A = this chain, B = another copy of it.
Amino acid sequence: MELLTGEFRNTLDEKGRLSLPAKLRGELPGNLLVVTQGIDSCLWLFPPEQWKTLSAKLLEQTSLFHARARLIQRRILAPSQELEVDKAGRIAIPQALREFAGLNKECVILGITKYIEIWDAEAYRKYLEENESEFLAAAEELGGLTL
């Protein structure tokens, strides 16, 4: 697996299935993915290996006895589910997760190097719009980066 990148727009069908873009599929190790609730209203999809690493790190830092830890566990760890990519290259997204991300029909699929995000197209548009100035500010700060 190299880098998962690219922004794509596919449609969720009536049965809750969404095609993963072939370009991303090609980079995945197998036909299994772990899906969970992301931060900002999107879903995160990880290749099993990456998920193992991430979930292990999350668990390390957490304890039953801290409110914050429980929150992280409930919000990130608990909703996670393993999904299989079907022969047509689609995943069936569980209803609870669809609702969480407000997925409607038009979805945006983002490859973010090591994992994938799924957004409702309209929600993503809004997110970008609302954060445009924040982005520009962040970009200015990157000013030091040179090619």
CB <8 Å contact, A142 and B72: yes
Number of interface residues of A (CB under 8 A): 53
Copies held by the complex: 2
Chain A residues 104-147 with CB under 8 Å of chain B are 110-115, 117, 128, 131, 134-136, 138-139, 142, 145, 147
CB <8 Å contact, A96 and B50: no
CB <8 Å contact, A9 and B96: yes
Please report A residues at the B interface, Cβ cutoff 8 Å: 3, 5-9, 23, 39-40, 50, 53-55, 57-59, 61, 64-65, 67-68, 70-75, 77-81, 94-97, 110-115, 117, 128, 131, 134-136, 138-139, 142, 145, 147
